[in-house]
């Protein structure tokens, strides 16, 4: 990437009037100056026309800057350089465009969520609260989310981890190829289809109309297993082969080698992978609407009996009610959910940072 | 550190089969087979449960748009409008997201200052960490309000294009809004895939292009993009798979109706996934079974798209 510039040899003779080898280039300060200039010009124009709008301003400034720098470059430099500068600004714009939703989303969730997010909101349920009453909270949803996610993890981590062990340590031939391929395909299953799968299974097992937390947890684990397999497989592949060979050389059987050498070495990576998988399924909504119900209002800590609320479904059902107070609850619930997800991400980072094995 | 595959290079010492080895290997293999069984089970149970309603359906399932399934007598329903809406929403998302994602990947790999490139890449990954229901809330609570005047402007000046014909929805709860939110959601997926292949472009190719006097863009066009094309296609298809199956953003933003409409600025259309989420709580009679058959169609579509994507991506790996 680093195109090292060759500095021209020191010239002892005075420069001749013939065109130099390098051709003319725009001075380095020009692009930033142009950008600032077009921003100011657009702001002034919009202000004078009395149509001030930050989005329109940003778009106009970007277009004006791109046009100006391209034309100037085409005049002063050459066509190829002009195209290069054009693409450079387009690429920068692409990245900025992607940051707009991220920043605006985080900002709206934070500013609107903080209105209602307090100790009261976190510690009470919606039991006995009518939709428009200025009361109620999210405690029952937090309990449901944690319980169902925990059960999903209890199901998926052993299956996912053992499959990863199989793929890395044992698998060969057709079966391994098939599992690798279908795990990849399984990552792409729409979450609502996972929910329908459990619905279909439950109808077969218990008859129609049964919703409980366990059904939600199983739907979540269908979504979680492939993620766990992928990340664990990657981590197990990073374990140096010398460690396995050293263990075999000491006469340790293969299963003990995996259990006592390979897995402990990869432990921090495995933990990180599981936490990221948790962060992914904790925000799933659609399968839970189908399997755990969307109308529970009271605290239910029993996974096998009755409907169970969760944070994402809480947000969704509040939005469906549509009143101002419901939106306030939804924003506060969204903030709670995002905080939980971010905490999981942070914990995953910390684990991989502090407990990573010292290689070398 | 060796990165070779341990299962093919290293063998455990030969000898009598120990009980622990047999159990452990069996457990590992069993988990792998269990995953295949789950995937087969998903297909099997969906087919099994959809049979009930499909047999009773009085309309053609694939060409009908109406949905009268919440009854025990003569249900009539079909996925024509739903399938059209699903593909339309995903297509809008793909068209919007792919060029931006390629630009972001180029930015992170070749344009951004080295020091902060990793942080910027992390910011894009953060988009993938936000739950879909929060995207839906943001879309309905903030984005559509911002987009409504833009739609009016679009209709005034580009209304002659059939896609943007009026009358414009004043709430902004249209197919285009849903598509825009879906585009934001699949952006990190396409970016991650594209970035990975861009990082693998052989340095010799890039340096050769630069040494011949190519500008940075010429280097990218001659060395990076041809090498990265399968990755871009694979990433776009993975994003497509995600957009096809995404439920909450569409269910919360779009104000639905079961019609086949090309007018992106009017309310209308509906996707399979959102339809299931909205209808399921009220489903009676053949309703649940009918929704399961719609889910089966969605499952089949995403399965084909995902398998094709994985095939494209894995084929590239063999040559890289």
| Residues A93 and A175 reside in one and the same domain | no
Q: pLDDT tier at A1 (50, 70, 90 boundaries)?
A: very low
Task: Tell which of A96, A113, A130 closes a domain.
Answer: A113
Q: What is the CATH number of the domain that holds A222?
A: 1.10.3720.10
Taking the CA of residue A274 and the nearest CA in chain B, the distance in Å comes to 14
Establish if B102 belongs to a structural domain. yes
Largest Cα–Cα separation, chain B: 81
Largest Cα–Cα separation, chain A: 96
Mean pLDDT of A116-129: 89
Q: Give the torsion through C-alpha atoms of B179, B182, B184, B187, to 10 deg.
A: -110
How many structural domains is chain A composed of?
2
Mean pLDDT of A128-145: 88
Range of the domain at A34: 30-113
Instruction: Give the DSSP letter of residue B269.
Output: B
| Residues A106 and A215 reside in one and the same domain | no
| Beta-bridge partners for A316 | none
| pLDDT digits 0-9 by tens, A81-90 | 899 999 999 9
Task: Tell which of A113, A129, A161 closes a domain.
Answer: A113
| pLDDT digits 0-9 by tens, B193-226 | 899 889 989 999 999 999 999 999 999 999 999 9
Q: Between residues 97 and 136 of chain B, which touch chain A (CB distance below 8 Å)?
A: 99-100, 102-104, 106-108, 110-112, 114, 120, 123-124, 126-127, 129-136
Query: Could you tell me which residue, B320 or A345, shows the higher pLDDT?
Result: A345
Is the pLDDT at B317 greater than 60, yes or no? no
Of B7, B23, B36, which has the smallest distance from its Cβ to A168's Cβ? B7
| Residues A218 and A328 reside in one and the same domain | yes
| pLDDT digits 0-9 by tens, B16-48 | 678 888 999 999 999 999 999 999 999 999 999
Establish if B70 belongs to a structural domain. no
Q: pLDDT tier at B72 (50, 70, 90 boundaries)?
A: confident
Cβ–Cβ < 8 Å for B68, B75:
yes
Q: Report d(CA A334, CA B133) in Å as an integer.
A: 8
Establish if B4 belongs to a structural domain. no
Establish if A317 belongs to a structural domain. yes
Q: Report d(CA B194, CA B188) in Å as an integer.
A: 10
Is the pLDDT at A232 greater than 90, yes or no? yes
Residues 6+ apart with CB under 8 A from A123: A137, A139
| pLDDT of A309 | 93
Is the pLDDT at A252 greater than 80, yes or no? yes
Partner A contacted by B287 (CB < 8 A)? no
Establish if A128 belongs to a structural domain. no
Mean pLDDT of B283-298: 91
| Residues A178 and A268 reside in one and the same domain | yes
| Residues A45 and A91 reside in one and the same domain | yes
CA distances from residue B143 to A101, A108, A339 in whole angstroms, order as listed: 9, 10, 22
| pLDDT digits 0-9 by tens, B245-256 | 999 989 999 988
Is the pLDDT at B14 greater than 80, yes or no? no
Q: pLDDT tier at A16 (50, 70, 90 boundaries)?
A: low
| Residues A153 and A229 reside in one and the same domain | yes
B222 alpha-carbon distance from chain centroid: 29
Contacts of B298 in chain A (CB under 8 A): 190, 192-193
Establish if B189 belongs to a structural domain. yes
Q: What is the CATH number of the domain that holds B195?
A: 1.10.3720.10
Establish if A213 belongs to a structural domain. yes
| Residues A88 and A165 reside in one and the same domain | no
- Is the Cβ pair A189, B302 closer than 8 Å? yes
Contacts of A295 in chain B (CB under 8 A): 281
Mean pLDDT of B257-283: 88
Establish if A6 belongs to a structural domain. no
Owner of token pair 């339309």: B88
Contacts of B241 in chain A (CB under 8 A): 188
CA distances from residue B286 to A200, B71, B300 in whole angstroms, order as listed: 13, 6, 21
Q: Where are the alpha helices (DSSP H) in A114-138?
A: 119-123
Taking the CA of residue A250 and the nearest CA in chain B, the distance in Å comes to 10
Query: Could you tell me which residue, B308 or B134, shows the higher pLDDT?
Result: B134
Establish if B29 belongs to a structural domain. no
Is the pLDDT at A360 greater than 50, yes or no? no
Q: Measured on CA atoms in the order A127, A131, A136, A137, is the torsion positive or negative?
A: positive
- Is the Cβ pair A105, B49 closer than 8 Å? no
Is the pLDDT at B316 greater than 70, yes or no? no
Is the pLDDT at A21 greater than 80, yes or no? no
Q: pLDDT tier at A50 (50, 70, 90 boundaries)?
A: confident
Is the pLDDT at A41 greater than 80, yes or no? yes
How many structural domains is chain B composed of?
1
| Residues A143 and A79 reside in one and the same domain | no
Establish if B290 belongs to a structural domain. no
- How confident is the prediction for chain B on average, in pLDDT? 88
Instruction: Give the DSSP letter of residue B111.
Output: I
Of B39, B133, B314, which has the smallest distance from its Cβ to A186's Cβ? B39
Question: What is the model's pTM?
Answer: 0.88
Mean pLDDT of A138-161: 95
Mean pLDDT of A159-187: 91
Interface A:B, Cβ pairs < 8 A = 306
Burial category of B87 from C-beta neighbours within 10 Å (exposed 0-12, middle 13-18, buried 19 and up): middle
CA distances from residue B181 to A105, A141, A246, B178, B247 in whole angstroms, order as listed: 11, 26, 52, 5, 12
Cis peptide before B167 (omega within 30 of 0): yes
Establish if B6 belongs to a structural domain. no
Instruction: Give the DSSP letter of residue B163.
Output: G
Q: pLDDT tier at B1 (50, 70, 90 boundaries)?
A: very low
Residue from B270, B240, B251 nearest B86 by CA: B270
Chosen for mutation from B1, B4, B5, B6 (greatest number of chain A CBs closer than 10 Å) is B6
Is the pLDDT at B277 greater than 70, yes or no? yes
Contacts of A87 in chain B (CB under 8 A): 216-217, 220
Is the pLDDT at B100 greater than 60, yes or no? yes
Q: pLDDT tier at A2 (50, 70, 90 boundaries)?
A: very low
Range of the domain at B228: 79-272+300-319
| Residues A146 and A89 reside in one and the same domain | no
- How confident is the prediction for chain A on average, in pLDDT? 88
| pLDDT digits 0-9 by tens, A259-310 | 999 999 998 889 988 998 998 899 999 999 999 988 888 888 888 888 999 9
Task: Tell which of A61, A79, A113 closes a domain.
Answer: A113
Q: pLDDT tier at B319 (50, 70, 90 boundaries)?
A: very low
Establish if B195 belongs to a structural domain. yes
Establish if A320 belongs to a structural domain. yes
| Residues A190 and A262 reside in one and the same domain | yes
Q: pLDDT tier at A196 (50, 70, 90 boundaries)?
A: very high
> ipTM of this predicted complex?
0.87
Report the half-sphere exposure of A350 (CA within 13 A, side-chain side).
6
């Amino acid at each position: 990437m680093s195109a090292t510039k060759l500095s021209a040899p020191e010239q002892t003779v005075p420069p001749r009037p013939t065109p130099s080898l390098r051709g003319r280039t725009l001075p380095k300060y020009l692009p930033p100056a142009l950008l600032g200039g077009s921003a100011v010009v657009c702001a002034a124009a919009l202000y004078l026309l009395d149509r001030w709008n930050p989005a329109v301003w940003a778009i106009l400034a970007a277009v004006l800057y791109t046009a100006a720098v391209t034309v100037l470059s085409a005049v002063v430099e050459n066509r190829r350089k002009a195209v290069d500068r054009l693409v450079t600004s387009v690429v920068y714009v692409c990245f900025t465009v992607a940051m707009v939703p991220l920043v605006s989303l985080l900002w709206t969730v934070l500013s609107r969520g903080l209105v209602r997010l307090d100790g009261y909101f976190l510690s009470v349920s919606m039991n006995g609260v009518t939709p428009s009453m200025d009361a109620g909270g999210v405690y029952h949803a937090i309990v449901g989310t944690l319980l169902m996610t925990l059960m999903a993890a209890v199901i998926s981590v052993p299956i996912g981890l053992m499959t990863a062990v199989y793929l890395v340590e044992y698998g060969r031939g057709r079966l391994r190829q098939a599992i690798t391929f279908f795990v990849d395909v399984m990552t792409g299953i729409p979450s609502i289809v996972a929910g329908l799968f459990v619905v279909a299974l439950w109808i077969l097992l218990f008859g129609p109309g049964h919703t409980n937390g366990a059904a939600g947890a199983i739907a979540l684990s269908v979504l979680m297993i492939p993620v766990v397999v992928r990340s664990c497989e990657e981590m197990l592949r990073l374990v140096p082969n010398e460690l396995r060979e050293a263990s075999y050389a000491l006469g340790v059987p293969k299963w003990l080698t995996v259990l006592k050498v390979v897995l402990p070495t990869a432990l921090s990576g495995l933990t990180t992978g599981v936490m990221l998988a948790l962060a992914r399924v904790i925000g799933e909504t659609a399968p839970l609407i189908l399997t755990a119900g969307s109308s529970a209002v009271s605290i239910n800590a029993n996974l096998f009996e009755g409907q169970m609320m969760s944070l994402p479904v809480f947000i969704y059902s509040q939005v469906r009610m549509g009143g101002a107070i419901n939106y306030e609850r939804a924003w506060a619930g969204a903030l709670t959910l995002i905080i939980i997800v971010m905490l999981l991400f942070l914990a995953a980072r910390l684990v991989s940072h502090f407990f990573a094995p010292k290689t070398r | 550190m060796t990165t070779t595959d341990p299962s093919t290079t290293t063998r455990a010492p030969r000898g009598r089969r120990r009980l622990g080895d047999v159990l452990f290997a069996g457990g590992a293999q069993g988990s792998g087979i269990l995953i295949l069984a789950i995937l087969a089970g998903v297909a099997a149970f969906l087919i099994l449960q959809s049979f009930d309603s499909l047999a009773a359906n009085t309309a053609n399932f694939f060409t009908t748009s109406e949905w009268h399934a919440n009854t025990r007598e003569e249900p009539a329903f079909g996925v024509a409008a739903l399938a059209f809406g699903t593909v339309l929403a995903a297509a809008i998302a793909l068209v919007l997201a792919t060029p931006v994602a390629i630009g972001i990947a180029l930015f992170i790999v070749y344009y951004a200052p080295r020091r902060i490139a990793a942080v910027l890449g992390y910011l894009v990954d953060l988009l993938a960490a936000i739950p879909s229901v929060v995207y839906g809330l943001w879309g309905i609570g903030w984005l559509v309000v911002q987009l409504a005047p833009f739609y009016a402007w679009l209709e005034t000046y580009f209304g002659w294009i059939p896609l943007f014909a009026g009358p414009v929805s004043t709430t902004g709860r249209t197919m285009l809004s849903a598509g825009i939110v879906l585009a934001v959601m699949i952006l990190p997926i396409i970016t991650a895939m594209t970035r990975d292949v861009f990082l693998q472009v052989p340095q010799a190719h890039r340096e050769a292009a630069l040494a011949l006097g190519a500008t940075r863009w010429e280097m990218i066009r001659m060395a990076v993009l041809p090498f990265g094309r399968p990755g871009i296609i694979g990433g776009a298809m993975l994003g497509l798979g995600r957009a096809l199956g995404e439920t909450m953003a569409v269910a919360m933003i779009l104000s639905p109706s079961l019609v086949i409409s090309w007018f992106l600025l009017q309310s209308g259309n509906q996707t399979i996934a959102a339809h299931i989420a909205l209808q399921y709580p009220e489903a009676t009679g053949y309703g649940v079974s009918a929704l399961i058959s719609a889910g089966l169609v969605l499952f089949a579509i995403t399965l084909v798209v995902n398998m094709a994507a994985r095939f494209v991506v894995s084929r590239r790996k063999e040559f890289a």
